[in-house]
Amino acid sequence: MKKHRLILLIGLCLLLFVSCSKDELFPDFIYEMTVSKEAINVVPEGTDETVEVKSNYAWTAESNATWCKLSLESGPEGTSSFHIKVEKNHNIEERVAEVTVTAGTVVRKIRVVQLNPDGFEFVDLPTEVIVDGLESILELQVKTNMRLEATSEDGWIVSLKDNIVPGNPPKTALFRIMFKDNTTDTPRSTVVKINGEGLPESYAKTFTVTQEVAPIADKNDQRIIGTWLVTKVLNGVTSELALLGATMKFEEEGIYSETLASGQKSAGVWEVRGDRLAIYYSDSRRYIYLEDTSDGINGTMTTTDIHSTILYKSHLSAYNGDGFGVSIVDLTNTKLTYMMIMNGDLSNVSESGLCISQKENPTITDKKYVSKSGGAVIVGEISDLYSGDVYHVRGYRIEGSQTIYTADTRIEMPVQDIDGNDYKIVKIGQQYWLAENLRVTKYNDGTPIEYCDKNNTIEWTAAGDSKRGAYSWIFGEDPNWIWDGDNFNNGVVNRQARFYGGIYNWHAVVDKRRLAPEGWHIPSKEEFVVLLGSIGANTEDFASGDMNYMNGLLAHDHYQNITGWTGWAVSGRATDGSWKSWNSLSARETSWWSSDISEGGYPWLIYHRRGDSGDSGISWTYQNEGWTVRCIRDTAK
């Protein structure tokens, strides 16, 4: 009997031994392993590094990158080694790989970092370019960590100043190449070679450019000859006005002279090639690309060429040496820039300037701005005007006891955001409001607001949690999406999502870069209280079902929009990026943000929710929700 028990015990042990595979871990075994390197920095040319492994158990190794290869993928217990072979890095970017060595339950990571070489990569380098005969510029997008230079054997290729900053990490920049005027008799071709400073010839990138013949130079163009006034020059990059009031005189045989409004004079030569007027000074040049000459010269003025980043929109008006008038040369929501021209004998003029009023034909007894220059061309600026209001201006000059005025000019101040959207306005009580929801996509400094559509709910939540501004259009749809199901909002002319306004989180509303158009601001809680008081409400809290006063603001279903506020029902966005449920009259909800926040950290808003069974008024909510925005006009002027 004992013999049988012994045989049975041995059999069980053998069975257990066989059932344990060689890869199965032993629960009571203490695994130990070390590797000689846990971080390897590799030069761009590549390397072959040896890694020593000491382990009391068989090990395996694997790499997560094809350019980082292993000589062995496994090894026995004890001391052994394998090689990490890193290939040459042909990319401009630094790259990272990870080698994982495993022995039982012990895992060691080896981080392999390979530096990027000095070099450059073009995003879309052409193989051949054809350009016209006039000077032009080719802009190429490049990623580089060094300065570049373009050359050609013919010498009519020039590398322009760029914003490339040498050093790692590589940065994306614009590399600009200028092709000079082709004043020869035939088209010409050349090979453009681009290379980094100090790199071997083998690194160079090339393409071919063919240039047509430039139009013949005309120094007696009858469209140009005469005297012109620069009545408007707007810098397209900074929106700053420049060169206003310059008198430009073009004479036959290319003789040119100019007088600035300050009295400074300069001279040069001019010529016309095709539709490009070129003015050459002793140390610089200016181009005006002609668009129309019916009532003057309208064109694009630059200091390099039509593709230059230094770009001006200009208008030259014919100057006949007599007359007295005012021209409005620039207009923003709250500011106008004017130029007044006084020709003839000015010796008896004791005072001149501009008078302004909100009634026709203002006089010097109204608001006046006195010129300090006393010249024949006066350029001035009037700021702190009311966006959306109508003003009248007249120039004046005083000669002895007589005051002479220009004709009345009517000016309607714009209501426009940085995207160029125009808005209607409405006066309610003593307040002026936008009569439309804000639909801007950038802050006033030009920075885009983070956009999170219906497919980016995670990004919407992350933006809120990080206190970043974010927006979407209604229901997270595309801005051009058509809301065919809207059969209850009144007065909707365009049912594209963008025309219902943006849905913004509160962080965008209070961002220091400003969301509201120039001359407007996000309303405070108190300004909302005043608004509701103007339409018949007298408290911040409203009884459920008492909705009659909302006839003044709402424009959906049976609400009558008495004030013209035009408050549409468009719902809002929850903190998790989802949309509020509201697809029936008993569930409709909409709200407008204020700029104020409660002591508990919850921003205030004006709201209307749940139709006739709900309530309206002023309340608070979460900062990361999304609602519409109305702006109120600034009052301190």
- Can you give the three-state secondary structure of 582-620, one letter per residue? CCCCCCCEEEEEEEEECCCCCEEEEEEECHHHCEEEEEE
Helix or strand or coil: residue 509?
helix
Query: Using one digit for the tens of pLDDT, what is the confidence trace for 22-78?
Result: 445 666 688 999 999 999 999 889 999 999 999 999 999 999 999 999 999 999 999
Query: Using one digit for the tens of pLDDT, what is the confidence trace for 109-168?
Result: 999 999 888 889 998 899 999 999 998 888 899 998 888 999 999 889 988 877 787 888
> Looking at the predicted structure, is the pLDDT value of residue 432 above 50?
yes
Element (H or E) spanning 581, and its range? Answer: none
The residue among 491, 479, 502 whose CA lies nearest residue 565 is 491
> Looking at the predicted structure, is the pLDDT value of residue 602 above 70?
yes
> Looking at the predicted structure, is the pLDDT value of residue 12 above 50?
no
Alpha-carbon distances, residue 527 vs 114, 235, 534, 605 (angstroms): 60, 37, 11, 11
> Looking at the predicted structure, is the pLDDT value of residue 240 above 80?
no
Supply 191's token pair.
Answer: 């090979």
Distance between CA atoms of residues 416 and 109, nearest Å: 57
Judging by beta carbons within 10 Å of its beta carbon (0-12, 13-18, 19+), is residue 89 exposed, middle or buried? buried
**33-114 to CATH, choices 3.40.50.2300, 2.60.40.10, 2.40.160.50, 2.60.40.2550:** 2.60.40.10
Supply 217's token pair.
Answer: 């130079």
| Largest interatomic CA distance in the chain | 144
The residue among 90, 85, 5, 79 whose CA lies nearest residue 36 is 79
> Looking at the predicted structure, is the pLDDT value of residue 508 above 80?
yes
Are the beta carbons of 380 and 354 closer than 8 angstroms? yes
**324-412 to CATH, choices 1.10.1040.10, 3.40.50.720, 2.60.40.10, 3.40.710.10:** 2.60.40.10
3-state secondary structure 158-176: EECCCCCCCCCCCEEEEEE
Q: Domain 120-211, what fold?
A: Immunoglobulin-like (2.60.40)
Query: Using one digit for the tens of pLDDT, what is the confidence trace for 345-368?
Result: 788 899 999 999 999 999 999 999
Query: Using one digit for the tens of pLDDT, what is the confidence trace for 302-339?
Result: 655 544 544 567 777 776 655 687 878 778 999 998 88
Query: Using one digit for the tens of pLDDT, what is the confidence trace for 544-595?
Result: 444 556 777 888 877 888 899 999 988 899 999 998 766 555 556 789 999 9
Query: Using one digit for the tens of pLDDT, what is the confidence trace for 249-278?
Result: 899 999 999 887 667 889 999 999 998 899
3-state secondary structure 143-157: EECCCEEEECCCCCE
Same CATH topology for 33-114 and 324-412?
yes
Query: Using one digit for the tens of pLDDT, what is the confidence trace for 89-120?
Result: 988 888 999 999 999 999 999 999 998 888 89
Q: DSSP alpha helices (H): ranges in 377-483?
A: 457-465
What residues does each domain of the chain span? 33-114, 120-211, 226-318, 324-412, 425-633
Query: Using one digit for the tens of pLDDT, what is the confidence trace for 464-483?
Result: 999 999 999 999 999 999 99
DSSP 300-366: EEESS-TT-SSEEEEEEEE--S--EEEEEEEE-SS-EEEEEEE-S--TTEEEEEEEEESSSS--TTS
Supply 98's token pair.
Answer: 């990870």
pTM: 0.62
Give the pLDDT confidence score for residue 9 in this predicted structure: 47
Give the pLDDT confidence score for residue 235 in this predicted structure: 58
> Of 622 and 284, which is predicted with more confidence?
622
| CATH of the domain spanning 226-318 | 2.40.128.20
